[in-house]
Structure 1
Amino acid sequence: MTDLRHPIFARLYPRIAAASAKAGSDAHRAELLAGASGRVLEVGAGHGANFPHYPPEVTEVVAVEPEPRLRRAAMAAAARAPVPVSVRPGRAEDLGLDTASFDVVVASLVLCSVRDPLRALAEIRRVLKPGGELRYYEHVRGSSPRKVRFQRYADLVWPFLSGGCRVARPTDAFIPRVGFTVRDERRFEFPGSGPPNPASPHVLGVAVRD
Structure 2
Amino acid sequence: MTQPVKHPVFARFYAKLAGPALEKAGIAEHRRRLLAGLSGEVIEAGAGNGLNFPHYPPEVQRVVAVEPEPRLRALAEQQAAGAPVPVETADGRAEQLPFPDGSFDAAVACLTLCSVADPRAAIAELHRVLRPGGQLRFFEHVQADTPAMRRVQRTLDATVWPRLMGGCHTGRDTQAALTAAGFTLTTVDRFTFPATRVPSPAGTHILGTAVRPAPDERR
TM-score, length basis structure 1: 0.98
Q: In structure 1, list runs of 5 or more residues that go unmatched.
A: none
RMSD: 0.8
Q: Any idea what the Cα deviations from partners look like across 1:171-191, whole Å, max 9, x if unmatched?
A: 111001011000001100111
Match of 2:100 in 1: 98
Asked if 2 retains the 8 angstrom alpha-carbon contact of 1:2 and 1:89, the reply is no
Q: How many residues align?
A: 210
CA drift at 1:18:
1.0
TM-score, length basis structure 2: 0.94
Match of 1:182 in 2: 185
State the alpha-carbon separation in 1 of the partners of residues 6 and 92 from structure 2: 12
Asked if 2 retains the 8 angstrom alpha-carbon contact of 1:94 and 1:123, the reply is yes
Amino acid at match of 1:126: R
Q: Is it true that 1:207 corresponds to 2:210 in the alignment? A: yes
Q: Any idea what the Cα deviations from partners look like across 1:137-186, whole Å, max 9, x if unmatched?
A: 00000111011011112222100011100001111110010110000011
Equivalent residue for 1:60, pick from 59, 62, 65: 62
Q: In structure 2, list runs of 5 or more residues that go unmatched.
A: 214-219
State the alpha-carbon separation in 2 of the partners of residues 128 and 85 from structure 1: 18
State the alpha-carbon separation in 1 of the partners of residues 44 and 146 from structure 2: 31
SS of 2:107 mapped into structure 1:
strand
- Percentage of matched positions with identical amino acids: 54
CA drift at 1:104:
0.5
State the alpha-carbon separation in 1 of the partners of residues 66 and 114 from structure 2: 16
SS of 1:129 mapped into structure 2:
strand
Q: Any idea what the Cα deviations from partners look like across 1:29-87, whole Å, max 9, x if unmatched?
A: 00000001100000000000100000000000000000000000000000010000000
